[in-house]
Chain A
Amino acid sequence: METREKTVEIRNLVKKFGNFTAVNNISFDVYKGEIFGFLGANGAGKTTAIRILCGLSLPTSGEGTVAGFSINNQQEDIKKHIGYMSQRFSLYSDLKVWENIELFGGIYGLDDKQIALKTDSMLKALDLEDSRNMYVRDMPLGWKQKLAFSIAMVHDPQVVFLDEPTGGVDPVTRRNFWEMIYEAASRGVTVFVTTHYMDEAEYCDRVSVMVDGVVEALGAPAELKKLYSAANMDEVFTKIAGRAERE
């Protein structure tokens, strides 16, 4: 029997838009401190599923919990208890480093004292103490990413959703970012991550592969490679997602 604590629990999730079924009856669990890779071809239904998990959209049917709150009727609680970061949007570039921390801390309901403490500890951990007054637009990409990731966790969420966090990022910065992901997971944060880099799929504890609205495969990278007789996750993905009917 599985005794590990579940951070995400999804059962028979369906989302329809008119007569199009974007998400077709998916079920899975994600455990505390796990790095869960959520893979799939474009149009497979990943974004639709993530929007439901983040409390931004209601399922047509099915149920589940994220960070202990229901995706059906506790959406506002979910939003307060998760972190979110994407490559496209994360920080305000025309605000300074400390202003971004204050803004997001405020949005997540931290009081002034908590924000001050958090700002100090975060800047120290990131080695950015001398850069608190820097505008985010003037920061190198690697710093911005570290800061965005930390700010996504400013309210100590149980789970953080990373939507293509490394898209377009240089090879060195991309690897440094994954070391941060590992560190967060080792502290017990659940990391739910999407990526198009198949080498990054190897770094996840488990991955799911969505095809045409369905979770077609789910398991540890080593298991999936064995199951599909593949040398690496790129081959696994090609074998599974190559069968997609829709784009």
Chain B
Amino acid sequence: MDGQTAIKVEGICKSFKETKALQDINLEIKHGEIFGLIGPDGAGKTSLFRILTTLSLADSGKASVNGLDVVDGYAGIRRSIGYMPGHFALYQDLSVEENLNFYATVFGTTVAENYDTIKDIYSQIEMFKDRKARDLSGGMKQKLALCCALVHKPDVLFLDEPTTGVDAVSRKEFWAMLGRIKDSGVTIMVSTPYMDEASLCDRIALILAGKIIDKGTPADIISRYPHRLFAIRGGNMFRILKELKVHEGIIRCSSFGCECHVAVTDNGPDASSLLDILEKSGMQGCRVEAIQAGIEDCFIGLS
């Protein structure tokens, strides 16, 4: 294996009463990569983050961050990681500058000492440094929280759903910032429910109902997609879905924006027979083409 291991997770299990939040999780995250944990609400993303950031104990299994065990080495881990939880951990009644100073002080450092680490992001909100955190917009709060998680120059950054509820444009900006943080040598583990963010990670794990359903580079996962896939454009989406769902040889059809993706068995219909089926049901003028699966197709296929 190339590169050193930054985070190692071996057989981690965690239950809350009868709910199995995490079932036998195994992951290895390399130094300097962006690793995405991708799955919906309730999949177990936050439970895993809390174990890795030493805030919660696993029922069984082992995990280490930077070579330190999450149980025996928790103090060392806490000094060397940054954590941005899903709900903003900002003090609402402190100003932007006060929040940042507070986090720096907790880690025994100063903003001035590590200004280079946060400069790229902080410069975008510095003009509001006297504003109380509660008066910031969602986008600015997110930037401040990221600065607070970075101000002590951590080796590993844990970001739990940093883009949930964030609009499409701000999400793109946020990922551009993550790219620059990665370039400075920080390992980033990030969770998200947005499948389209998978391609921005070096490697990912898909998580659903407490289990890792696949992991690898986005390209690896896509190459494992087992079916032939077609995209249909034009025509009424919901008529197409209704018509094709019941058809033999069709495993699944799902809406993807203005396209309908149709997964087909090996001896199921091809593009021209799909077009035939649609035309026979009175839907003229559709276009059908064979396509490569995306991560969302893979996730749906594995669900």
Interface residues of A (CB under 8 A from B): 40-43, 141, 164, 167-173, 175, 178-179, 182, 196-203, 221, 232-234, 237-238, 241-242, 244, 246-247
Contacts and interface: CB of A to CB of B under 8 A. Distances in A.
Given A232-B257, A232-B258, A247-B137, A168 B164 contact: yes
Contact of A198 (B140, B257, B299): B257
B167 A182 contact: no
Contacts of B296: 171
Q: Is the interface of B mostly helix, strand, loop or mixed?
A: mixed
Contact of B40 (A41, A170, A198, A233): A170
Contacts of A175: 254-255
Among A168, A179, A233, A234, chain B packs the most CB atoms within 10 A around the CB of A168
Contacts of A196: 165-168, 171
A171 B303 contact: yes
A238 B40 contact: no
A238 B303 contact: no
Interface of B: 39-43, 137-140, 161, 164-172, 193-195, 208, 237-238, 241, 254-258, 296, 299-300, 303
A149 B244 CA distance: 26
Contacts of B165: 42, 164, 167, 196
Contact of B168 (A141, A171, A198, A221): A198
B193 A168 contact: yes
A172 B257 contact: no
Those 4 A-B pairs whose CB atoms lie nearest each other, nearest first: A170-B40, A199-B257, A168-B41, A247-B139
A229 to B, nearest CB: 15
B137 A246 contact: yes
Given A169-B41, A171-B195, A238-B172, A40 B167 contact: yes
A170 to B, nearest CB: 4
Contacts of B171: 196
Nearest to A186: B238
B170 A169 contact: no
Contact of A43 (B39, B139, B194, B303): B139
A83 B41 CA distance: 24
Contacts of B195: 171
Nearest to A200: B257
Contacts of A233: 257-258
